[in-house]
Amino acid sequence: MKSSLLLKTGIIGSILFALCCYTPILVLLLGAIGLSAWVSSLDVVLFPAMLAFFVLTIFAYWRKDREEGS
Protein backbone atom coordinates (compact mmCIF):
# COMPACT_ATOMS: atom_id res chain seq x y z
CA MET A 1 0.00 0.00 0.00
CA LYS A 2 1.31 3.43 -0.86
CA SER A 3 2.50 5.50 2.06
CA SER A 4 0.56 8.55 0.86
CA LEU A 5 -2.68 6.54 0.95
CA LEU A 6 -1.80 5.27 4.43
CA LEU A 7 -1.13 8.82 5.56
CA LYS A 8 -4.44 10.11 4.16
CA THR A 9 -6.34 7.22 5.76
CA GLY A 10 -4.67 7.82 9.11
CA ILE A 11 -5.34 11.55 9.10
CA ILE A 12 -8.97 11.25 8.01
CA GLY A 13 -9.63 8.46 10.50
CA SER A 14 -7.99 10.41 13.32
CA ILE A 15 -10.08 13.48 12.58
CA LEU A 16 -13.32 11.50 12.37
CA PHE A 17 -12.70 9.62 15.60
CA ALA A 18 -11.62 12.80 17.37
CA LEU A 19 -14.90 14.42 16.30
CA CYS A 20 -16.87 11.46 17.58
CA CYS A 21 -15.02 11.33 20.90
CA TYR A 22 -14.82 15.00 21.77
CA THR A 23 -18.12 16.31 20.41
CA PRO A 24 -21.64 15.03 21.01
CA ILE A 25 -22.19 14.19 17.33
CA LEU A 26 -22.26 10.44 17.84
CA VAL A 27 -24.41 10.72 20.98
CA LEU A 28 -26.98 12.82 19.15
CA LEU A 29 -27.04 10.49 16.15
CA LEU A 30 -27.48 7.38 18.29
CA GLY A 31 -30.19 9.09 20.32
CA ALA A 32 -32.02 10.14 17.17
CA ILE A 33 -32.24 6.58 15.87
CA GLY A 34 -33.12 5.06 19.23
CA LEU A 35 -29.80 3.49 20.11
CA SER A 36 -28.89 5.74 23.03
CA ALA A 37 -28.29 2.71 25.27
CA TRP A 38 -25.05 2.10 23.35
CA VAL A 39 -23.61 5.48 24.37
CA SER A 40 -22.26 4.10 27.65
CA SER A 41 -20.04 1.60 25.83
CA LEU A 42 -18.67 3.94 23.16
CA ASP A 43 -15.42 4.60 25.01
CA VAL A 44 -14.51 0.92 24.83
CA VAL A 45 -14.49 1.11 21.04
CA LEU A 46 -13.72 4.71 20.13
CA PHE A 47 -10.58 5.35 22.19
CA PRO A 48 -8.69 2.25 20.97
CA ALA A 49 -9.79 2.99 17.39
CA MET A 50 -8.63 6.59 17.68
CA LEU A 51 -5.30 5.40 19.09
CA ALA A 52 -4.96 2.96 16.18
CA PHE A 53 -5.53 5.74 13.66
CA PHE A 54 -2.98 7.97 15.42
CA VAL A 55 -0.43 5.14 15.28
CA LEU A 56 -1.28 4.56 11.60
CA THR A 57 -0.73 8.25 10.87
CA ILE A 58 2.65 8.29 12.61
CA PHE A 59 3.73 5.07 10.87
CA ALA A 60 2.65 6.36 7.44
CA TYR A 61 4.44 9.66 7.98
CA TRP A 62 7.60 7.83 9.06
CA ARG A 63 7.37 5.50 6.05
CA LYS A 64 6.77 8.37 3.60
CA ASP A 65 9.67 10.35 5.07
CA ARG A 66 11.91 7.30 4.78
CA GLU A 67 10.93 6.75 1.11
CA GLU A 68 11.61 10.38 0.21
CA GLY A 69 14.94 10.35 2.00
CA SER A 70 16.24 7.34 0.05
Question: Residues 26-56: pLDDT tens digits?
Answer: 778 878 888 878 777 777 877 788 888 888 8
Whether the pTM exceeds 0.75: the reply is no
Give the sign of the dihedral formed by CA 5, CA 7, CA 12, CA 14: positive
Q: How many CB atoms lie within 10 A of CB 38?
A: 12
What's the number of domains the chain is made of? 1
Domain enclosing residue 25, as ranges? 3-69
Residue 23 pLDDT exceeds 70: no
Cα angle 35, 12, 46 (rounded to 5 degrees) comes to 35
- Closest CA relative to residue 4, chosen from 55, 61, 70, 46: 61
